[in-house]
Structure 1
Amino acid sequence: MPLIDIGDCRLFVRAYGAGPPLLLIHGLGSSGDDWAFQLPAWSRQFQLIVPDLRGCGRSERPPGSYSIAGFAADLASLLDRLAIQHCAVVGFSMGGAVALELALQQPQRISRLVTINSLPSYRVDHWRKALEYHVQMALVRVLGMRRSAALIGKRLFPHPAQQAMRERVIEVIGGSLAEPYLRCARALADWCAADRLHQRQSPMLMLAGEFDYTGLEEKRRWAQQMAAQIRVVAGSRHGTPFDAIQATNRCIEAFLCDAELPDGLSIDAPHEVPREPPASPQEVLLSSVAAAPGEALVMP
């Protein structure tokens, strides 16, 4: 799949399936590969647009600082290039912040919004947030990406049956470059949308792991303030799309299809935990990728 020029950067983008467009935004230190366990299920009903954010995965890494607003603007430009006027969006972790920012920047464009283990503000305004942020930054600087990834993997996936998930964290995050990772982390810590939440127009779902980094009480307060639906996945930590694949897939699919949301969501049982990602569905090729910026790229 080619890189798509959005102006000052080229983004690596893949597309799958057919139907209403659904933009999937990955988390910190990762790439569109975050959605490996969702692609087969969701591509049956939606046309999935799966980019790597600038500085992440296989996208370009232009110099300069990053921002959540800048990531969202990049994706708005990408949608312009793909001639997508309206779409739903799902964001995981940092990708949830980018998804919400996109819905605030272009409220009429986003039909439905889902965030997974994400908040509308990551400002370091509490000692726990300060500790989380500074420890994370220090670990990367002192230990490097691979050793930091090993610690992250143990924290996200502590159960014996989740060994393959831990190994995947080491492979993905451990293979990332430290400086772009730190720039993304700084962008997240600098971002707050609390005073702009009234600009959002689309229905919203917050999917939350029971044992995520941030507590459920805070998430419930934000959900009430944003008039968002919230569902909690029992036993899940921060990596809900990985440790609760079935719950993630059916809950979000129900929301996107305007169906009743399921209750009683929980992590996958030990015997259900996959050892490796499933085979990806066949990619849909983006046409006219050599077109100049400003010309629409049309999905086949």
Structure 2
Amino acid sequence: MNPLPYIIVNDTSLYYQVQGQGVPIMFIHPPLLTSENFDYQAAQLSNRFQVITFDIRGHGSSDRSFEPVTYPLIVQDMLKLMDGLNIKQAYVCGYSTGGGVALHALLTAPERFLGGILVSGMSEASDLYLRLRMTTAIALSRSKLKSLLRLAITWGNADNLKTFRTLYRSSQPGTSDNWYEYYRYSLDYSCTDQLQQIQAPVLLVYGKKDKSFHRYAWKLQQHLQNSKLIWIPEAKHQIPTKNAIMLNDCIESWITDKETRAEKIDTTIYE
């Protein structure tokens, strides 16, 4: 059996997977979940791209973090992982609160990212319903009911029993204190007033039935200079697992279009 792939970042061991070849895409999961949430993306998109997934500190198979888990820390780890893999630039795809991490990466290290993909993402948590859900998750992660939180999150993101078992199993080694820190930072984070600074292209993917997140989709499209908004019919929030084929097709088409245009520009310059 091959040993699991790890990279040491500031004395912390991070678990990661690299599948496929081509233009790199790095995926960012939300609190409590792990890189296993992107299994469908890795399976399909690795036919065309280099898919990079990793467990954030204190999640899944990565070591617990003795530093608070914040977006700047996660982005720092992303960049160290890219350096370790000799990847100069990549697309970054964040799901749910992972979308906030992706935006922070585009803002703080724009030279390292070719573009962003936000799946059910947001630049802030400003509506009462979302804040209540996140506050509940914060409280449960510090209580004796944290196993209930783990059950609810993994079951809610599962499209079938097999996926549920995978998500539930992979989340088991996680550290609830680090879940708490990630949720806590996400609740207070806002980069809406900085979105116009992002020049890289951004793909926004949302579910038509995820009505409470429509406000975030419109806000992002309004403030980002170069964005494309796609609505997936009949989809709710958990798109990576429950609407995987449509999401993967959207990502593949969008990146292929961006890379084709870039090649045409390069050809025009050097001819």
Relative to structure 1, the CA distance from residue 108 to residue 224 in structure 2 (aligned partners, 3 Å threshold; closer, same or farther) is same
> Are 2:200 and 1:202 equivalent residues in the alignment?
yes
Displacement of 1:81:
2.3
> Are 2:182 and 1:184 equivalent residues in the alignment?
yes
- Aligned positions of 1:17-56 closer than 5 A: 17-56=20-59
- Aligned positions of 1:83-98 closer than 5 A: 83-98=86-101
The count of residues paired between Structure 1 and Structure 2 equals 254
Instruction: Output the CA distance in 2 between the equivalents of 1:29 and 1:59.
Output: 12
Any idea what SS the aligned residue of 2:245 has? helix
**Relative to structure 2, which stretch is displaced further, 171-180 or 65-74?**
171-180
**Structure 2: 5+ residue stretches without partners:** 259-271
Any idea what SS the aligned residue of 2:40 has? coil
> Are 2:257 and 1:254 equivalent residues in the alignment?
no
> Are 2:71 and 1:68 equivalent residues in the alignment?
yes
Correspondence for 2:132: 131
**Relative to structure 2, which stretch is displaced further, 60-69 or 209-218?**
209-218
> Are 2:7 and 1:4 equivalent residues in the alignment?
yes
Letter in 2 for 1:234: P
Displacement of 1:171:
3.8
Correspondence for 1:144: 145
**Relative to total residues, which structure has the larger helix share, 1 or 2?**
2
Displacement of 1:175:
5.6
Correspondence for 1:230: 229
Any idea what SS the aligned residue of 2:87 has? coil
1:180-200 deviations in Å (ceiling 9; x for gaps): 211111121122112222332
Instruction: Output the CA distance in 2 between the equivalents of 1:107 and 1:72.
Output: 12
1:57–1:176: 8 Å Cα contact kept in structure 2? yes
Displacement of 1:63:
1.1
Displacement of 1:50:
1.4
Displacement of 1:22:
1.6
Correspondence for 1:286: none
Task: Give % identity.
Answer: 23
1:67–1:191: 8 Å Cα contact kept in structure 2? no
TM-score by length of 2: 0.84
Relative to structure 1, the CA distance from residue 94 to residue 34 in structure 2 (aligned partners, 3 Å threshold; closer, same or farther) is same
2:37–2:167: 8 Å Cα contact kept in structure 1? no
Displacement of 1:82:
2.1
2:13–2:63: 8 Å Cα contact kept in structure 1? yes
Displacement of 1:177:
3.2
Any idea what SS the aligned residue of 1:28 has? coil
Instruction: Output the CA distance in 2 between the equivalents of 1:101 and 1:115.
Output: 12
Displacement of 1:6:
2.3
**Structure 1: 5+ residue stretches without partners:** 260-300
